[in-house]
Amino acid sequence: MSKHLSRDYFLTLQAALKKAGLAEPVLLLDRQRLNHNIDNLRDNLPDGMNYRIVAKSLPSAALLEHVGKRAGTQRLMSFNAVMTRQLLDAMPKADILHGKPLPVAAADGFLKSLPTSRARQINQIQWLVDTSARLAEYAALANKHRCTLQINLEIDVGLHRGGLPPGDDLHQALAFIAKHRRLELAGYMGYEPHLTKLPDLEGWKARAKKGAWDLYAAALEQARAHFGAAHTEAMTRNMAGSPTIRLYKNTRLANEVATGSALVKPSDFDAPLLASFQPASFIATPVLKVDKQLRLPAHEFANGLLGEAEKGTAIFVHGGYWMASPVFPKGLSYSQIFGRSSNQDYLQGGVRVSIAPDDFVFLRPHQSEAVFLQFPKIAVFDGKRIADIWTPLGVSA
Ligand SMILES: Cc1ncc(COP(=O)(O)O)c(C=O)c1O
């Protein structure tokens, strides 16, 4: 955890929450820390490198707009058809790349639901395609809707989460797109978060990185053969995610990197390459009950040691069971014996934990994409007070 997450910091947050009348679980976003992270990302991009915001990791329209403005980008990565529609509503000029291939029925549903007055927005969307079979389905979809679809090919650069490695299948997919009058090659996506996670065993990591880049380079060479150098240079050449954004020092392969998580830095992203990013989001939840002893349920009816209360502080909070770990007050932990509850989670700590009902417990999310969506309110802290309330995607203000 960052050393700046001091007791004073959380006490200021707590005072701000109370002043704002917030008394139920809330997702807190520290705007100064978020801005530091956005600037840090933007200022360290190599020349000519674009930034695509991973929307699922920052799932709030206001948050995405804030990041887009400050980072100077309209590129978004979406992960389902409903999200794509929400993103287009929030940022009508956005360029949206799907970060996973959607079943063609989902794409069909999206196209059917888009009003004809907004049909032009179809060109702003890149559909990720991972196999020749799916490509044929999207070709049929384009024919059915009599529209042109922008196709982005998922390239397997070693993650093996699907996609086409360079070779015959990719050749056939490229030839199919080149021939089809309603399909356009919008780009490639080669996701490789494994590169920083592999153990550094006898050069494995270095070989995996070189291997991934060689595969992407070979796939680009195939695109040049079908679509020419200028098209291949200009098309979307997407790579990276939070763990790997810092690996790209020029635009020889990728001309854009995608990340979202690094900007709020949940604890799963505490990695050396992201050391200059700061944790910027927390869960704050009020304490409902405090017991200055640790008592098992029905302990008084048990024999022997089990029958005795232990010294310590037991706390029940409002809500719980989030993918998050307590960070303040210090020394709190979950109990294997008590288990977890989404209704009134139990936390325990030492005798010196100083907390009373209506005070807040702060937790740091492990990840953002699912956790942010569990809160109806995102409270934006400006260093002194709660300056804004944002809503997560899917909740209207
Ligand atoms: C295709 C793709 N690109 C990039 C990312 C990185 O997202 P983030 O850095 O927000 O975790 C993901 C995450 O799942 C992804 O699936």
pLDDT tens, residue by residue, 352-396: 999 999 999 999 999 999 999 999 999 999 999 999 999 999 865
**Average pLDDT for residues 317-342, to the nearest whole number?**
96
Instruction: Please check whether residue 338 lies inside any domain of the structure.
Output: no
CB 380 within 8 A of CB 21: no
Residue nearest (by alpha carbon) to ligand 1 atom 16: 99
Q: How many domains does the chain have?
A: 1
Whether 216 is in a domain gets the answer yes
Measured by CA distance, the residue closest to atom 5 of ligand 1 is 241
Ligand 1, atom 1: closest residue by C-alpha: 99
The amino acid at 263: L
Q: Is it the case that residue 1 has pLDDT exceeding 50?
A: no
- pTM: predicted TM-score of the whole model, two decimal places: 0.96
Which residue owns the Cα nearest ligand 1 atom 2?
99
Residue 22 lies in a domain: no
Domain residues for 36? Answer: 31-262
The residue-averaged pLDDT of 273-285 equals: 97
- Whether 350 is covered by a domain: the verdict is no
Between vectors from CA 223 to CA 221 and to CA 226, what angle results, nearest 5°?
115
pLDDT at 395: 62
Q: Which of 38, 53, 54 to mutate to test the pocket of ligand 1 (most atoms within 8 A of CB)?
A: 54
Q: Is residue 15 part of a domain?
A: no
Q: Is residue 36 part of a domain?
A: yes
Peptide linkage before 92 cis (omega within 30 of 0): no
How many angstroms does the Cα of residue 39 sit away from the middle of ligand 1?
19
Per-position b or e across 138-166, b if 16+ CB within 10 A of its CB:
bbebbeebeeebbbbbbbbbbbeeebbbb
DSSP 230-261: HHHHHSEEEE--GGGGGG--SSSS-SEEEESH
Dihedral sign for Cα 211, 219, 50, 106, please. Answer: negative
pLDDT digits (tens, 9 = 90+) for 40-55: 999 999 999 999 999 9
The protein residue with its alpha carbon nearest to ligand 1, atom 12, reads 241
Q: What is the pLDDT of residue 279?
A: 98
User: Is 76 near ligand 1, meaning CB less than 6 Å away?
Assistant: no
With the most atoms of ligand 1 within 8 angstroms of its CB, the residue from 50, 52, 57 to mutate is 57
Element (H, E) at 207: helix 204-227
Q: How remote is the CA of residue 2 from the centroid of ligand 1, in Å? A: 23
- Asked whether residue 120 is assigned to any structural domain, the reply reads yes
CATH of the domain at 110: 3.20.20.10
Q: Is 243 in the pocket of ligand 1 (CB under 6 A)?
A: no
pLDDT in tens, 245-268: 999 999 999 999 999 999 999 999
Each residue's pLDDT tens digit, 169-190 = 999 999 999 999 999 999 999 9
Nearest CA, atom 11, ligand 1:
261
**What's the pLDDT at 3?**
47
pLDDT tens-digit map of 25-34: 999 999 999 9
327 C-alpha to center of ligand 1: Å? Answer: 26
Ligand 1 contact via 241 beta carbon (within 6 Å): yes
Q: What is the mean pLDDT of the chain?
A: 96
Neighbours of 133 (CB within 10 A): 9
How wide is the angle at C-alpha 228 spanned by C-alphas 227 and 229, nearest 5°? 135
168: in domain: yes
